[in-house]
């Protein structure tokens, strides 16, 4: 599998395995180990986590596999996120916490849960309107100095939010993890992807299949998109339309790094297979036009 250089000394597999719903995969530790081995055999070495995934259980589920097979973690790049706080116990409302104390504390919990000694990339999960960027910069400096986190980035940040935080940080922000798919193109249009090109960073992409709506959606747009994806599938020789949906992302010059969230190896193989197909400009804009419902100006 091809790889993407994210920063000096750090590259990601072009397809990332996401653990958002690992608790729903219903794999015991032995089955998860075998699944991770299969993913590594495909060349998928980058693992995407967050402290809140699985209602705070996902990192621990992954960690049980690493505890039994610590050699697996040595073959991986580990990404995790923090700053979202869910209601529980005395916490009455969902909120964001970007304080230095919270970020450092959550990193230490993530390291313990996953049985690892460092995180390759820590991302702030959501923009925080109550953020003190100086505190964030302090947390990053401390975690970097202590060797607990190698690199830093953000998730779901708009360009002005990314640039504001960057202006305070002594370390580079190496990625912005955002939603993007054939059906959800907002981050192509709101400046996020152009900002990534400007900053020479590669965006990580979540929900690259729009939560399965490219298969199941019954609206006019979804039906029109499926027809177009099927046409291009036949032209390219791809096995399924999801391969074309991933190829649409891979073909973009921003060097997008999509996350697949499946616990089934046959579905994980789909984005890996999509790397074989480089869409033409015409094919790329056929998909764009099918979703927008009009030609480019």
Nearest to 152 by CA among 182, 129, 181, 118: 118
- Cα 20 to Cα 48, 49, 56, 187, 291, distances in angstroms: 8, 7, 10, 21, 27
272, 43 contact by CB (below 8 A): yes
> Distance between CA 51 and CA 147 in Å, rounded?
19
Neighbours of 74 (CB within 10 A): 9
Active-site positions read 53
- Cα 248 to Cα 125, 130, 152, distances in angstroms: 25, 36, 27
70, 41 contact by CB (below 8 A): no
């Amino acid at each position: 599998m091809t790889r993407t250089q994210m920063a000096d000394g750090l590259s990601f597999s072009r397809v990332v395995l996401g653990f958002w719903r690992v608790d729903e995969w219903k794999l015991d530790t032995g089955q998860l180990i075998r699944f991770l081995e299969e993913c590594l055999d495909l060349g998928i070495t980058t693992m995407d986590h967050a402290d809140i995934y699985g209602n705070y259980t996902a990192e621990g589920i992954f960690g049980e596999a690493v505890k039994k097979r610590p050699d697996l973690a040595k073959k991986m790049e580990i990404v995790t996120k923090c700053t979202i706080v869910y209601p529980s116990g005395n916490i009455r409302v969902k909120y964001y916490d970007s304080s230095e104390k919270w970020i450092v504390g959550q990193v230490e919990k993530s390291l313990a849960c996953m049985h690892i000694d460092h995180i390759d990339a820590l991302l702030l999960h959501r923009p925080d309107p109550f953020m003190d960027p100086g505190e964030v910069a302090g947390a990053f400096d401390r975690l970097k100095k202590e060797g607990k986190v190698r690199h830093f980035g953000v998730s779901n940040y708009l360009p002005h939010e990314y640039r504001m935080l960057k202006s305070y940080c002594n370390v580079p922000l190496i990625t912005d993890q955002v939603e993007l798919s054939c059906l959800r193109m907002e981050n192509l249009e709101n400046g996020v992807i152009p900002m990534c090109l400007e900053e020479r960073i590669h965006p990580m992409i979540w929900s690259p299949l729009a939560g399965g709506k490219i298969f199941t959606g019954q609206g006019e747009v979804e039906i029109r998109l499926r027809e177009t994806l099927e046409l291009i599938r036949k032209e390219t020789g791809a096995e399924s339309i999801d391969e074309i949906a991933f190829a649409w992302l891979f073909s973009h010059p921003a060097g997008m790094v999509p996350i697949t969230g499946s616990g089934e190896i046959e579905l994980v193989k789909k984005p890996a297979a999509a790397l074989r197909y480089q869409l033409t400009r015409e094919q790329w804009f056929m998909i764009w036009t099918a979703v927008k419902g009009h030609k480019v100006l």
